[in-house]
Structure 1
Amino acid sequence: MFESISTHRLDHIVHLTPVASVQEASEQFRSLGFNVLTGGTHEDQLTANALIVLADGAYFELISFTKHVSDYPPGSPQRDARENHRWAAKKPGWVDYGFLGNGSMDERISDTINARANKILYEPEFHGGRRNPSGQVLQWLITSAAAKDRIGVLPFYCGDITPRELRASVPTSPASNVEHPNTALGFSHVHVLCKEEEIAKIAQEITYTVGHEPNTTEDSDSKRFSWPIHTSSDFDSRLILSAPSTTEEHQFLGDRDRSAAIHEIGFRVKDERKQGSVMTPYAKIVFT
């Protein structure tokens, strides 16, 4: 029953910035040639975002916490929620990526993946939401990796209860929402770096998650896995997993003190003159 459920459609990617810095981040990404749209505050009031919608139907969000941990009374439920948020210990940059779920508690994405893995790889679905600038309450179901060290390594799933078009700021209407001065059309890749000793285990977990085997390449320095993933249009993207092979990649992973993390996000651009790599204050972008 469950194998009819798709688990490899890219939905959105999360870029974290310091507390209450969504407006600053918006200006930084506008300077990189992106059209940034107003987002909103999430249902738990802990985070706020702005949105960048792409012509392939996927989008990414610029997100920050609304307050520092110390702004909440010690022992309060809000303090506890802030301290235990999935991104509370994350450094700014690309911190997470989401695939599209099905918004169903009857045929759950988590059941599909766990059946493939024959173990609890994903937690049961739970409700999430936020209020958009027009006052509409948006609702969805979330499932995420059960192991905390896999957050931002394995995708989470967001399945809409209210129409997805509301959550993604109506990506194709007006058309100007998806028109970017840098000519970005869609995501080309999500690149996760991991330590060499973890790569086989994480590759198997991603295979269980997306539901198909990767392409594998290997040279004298490292092994590289690549899974095709899809968006809502004809654009194809790839999820890439590799061990560090350059000084910059080793430093990136060492700075995060984690076995694996999202290293870079790739964007497909219409104008070849826009190709190349750039750095935000906190993350790497590649235009292909």
Structure 2
Amino acid sequence: MSINTHTLDHIVHLTPPGSVKEASRQFTALGFKVLPGGVHAGGLTENALVILDDGVYLELISFTHPQSHYPPGSPERTDRDKNPWAYKSPGWIDFAFLGNGSRTNSVSDSINARARAHGDPDLYLPEQDGGRTRPDGRVLKWLISPPPVESRGILPFFCGDVTPRALRVPSDPPSNSEHPSTTKGISFVHAIVSSASFAQVKSELVSVIGSPPVESTNERAAWELGTVHPGARQPRLVVSISATEEQAAFLAETGSDIGIFEVGFRVAEGSQKGSGTTPYGKISWES
């Protein structure tokens, strides 16, 4: 059975420990309507949500406590240190595609089979349980299909709902996705990569997405992604070699050879345009 592995589900924005409420205020000031999320299973992280009309959402996440809160050697400290986002700098740190919530029809197995067919090693780990408790007490469950920790933020992870997606992504009532900024959806996710890693990353994304890029040069590649809501304008995933001083500085600050440099949002015609910050990550507005 063919598995859809190219639908953008959500984008993750990290802020310092205990700062979800402050991040919510910051995104509200940018013209987004922010909804409360909840504490994730295990209690290490908590989030708030920005629901967009195309079905994608922003996850505003922070750790509930700094690393020093947990005694060295304690189970809680071990779990926090193992978290894939434990050592990420604030900003756009990760993105997720929509999974299928199945271990028998595994997203990871499907992608790994494609990678092996291309002569590459496996790219994804077996599915893992995930979930959180909403402020109203509803318990949400999903399956995560993750790449290894060192590839998080380079390759998307997959989030497949076990409980209904509408519980995880509360797009009803429709006012939940109506924003003062007139934002309707995602225009693009732009990741910057070092020249040494570009060819490998492009090849791996072909295995993940299941199709070649619609735009491809020796310095830039772009894919059109699917949307949760049929008929919505397709967002793009763009990967390019750093081409400006700003982009080179961004890579240096991440301490990695790749990172999500910018997220573009679609807004109503005649609304705001240009770029700004979250203040931890770069954003732009397009009609």
Which of 31, 34, 45 matches 1:33? 31
TM-score using structure 2 length: 0.95
2:53 maps to 1:51: no
Q: CA RMSD in A?
A: 1.0
State the one-letter code of the partner of 1:131: T
Which of 81, 84, 100 matches 2:79? 81
CA distance in 2 between counterparts of 1:13 and 1:110 reads 20
2:142 maps to 1:144: no
Contact map agreement 2:213 2:221 (CA 8 A) in 1: yes
Aligned counterpart, 2:224: 228
CA distance in 1 between counterparts of 2:46 and 2:89 reads 17
CA distance in 2 between counterparts of 1:42 and 1:211 reads 31
Q: Deviations over 1:35-62 (max 9, x none)?
A: 0001100011000000000000110111
TM-score using structure 1 length: 0.95
CA distance in 2 between counterparts of 1:226 and 1:158 reads 22
Aligned counterpart, 2:4: 6
Which of 269, 276, 283 matches 2:274? 276
SS in 1 for 2:122: coil
State the one-letter code of the partner of 2:61: I
Aligned counterpart, 1:253: 251
Among the aligned pairs, what percent are the same residue?
49
State the one-letter code of the partner of 2:214: N
State the one-letter code of the partner of 1:183: T
CA distance in 2 between counterparts of 1:139 and 1:249 reads 37
Contact map agreement 1:216 1:223 (CA 8 A) in 2: no
Runs (4+) off by over 6 Å: none
State the one-letter code of the partner of 1:255: E
State the one-letter code of the partner of 1:230: G
CA distance in 1 between counterparts of 2:31 and 2:40 reads 26
1:274 deviates by 1.0
CA distance in 2 between counterparts of 1:137 and 1:216 reads 41
1:217 deviates by 4.4
Q: Which ranges in structure 2 are unaligned for 5 or more consecutive residues?
A: none
2:151 maps to 1:155: no
CA distance in 2 between counterparts of 1:69 and 1:134 reads 28
Q: Deviations over 1:47-99 (max 9, x none)?
A: 00000000001101110000111111221110100111110010000000000
Q: Which ranges in structure 1 are unaligned for 5 or more consecutive residues?
A: none
For residues 120-139 of structure 1, what are the structure 2 equivalents within 5 Å?
120-139=122-141
Contact map agreement 2:5 2:208 (CA 8 A) in 1: yes
CA distance in 1 between counterparts of 2:261 and 2:277 reads 11
State the one-letter code of the partner of 1:141: L
Aligned counterpart, 1:22: 20
1:215 deviates by 2.5
CA distance in 2 between counterparts of 1:175 and 1:280 reads 24
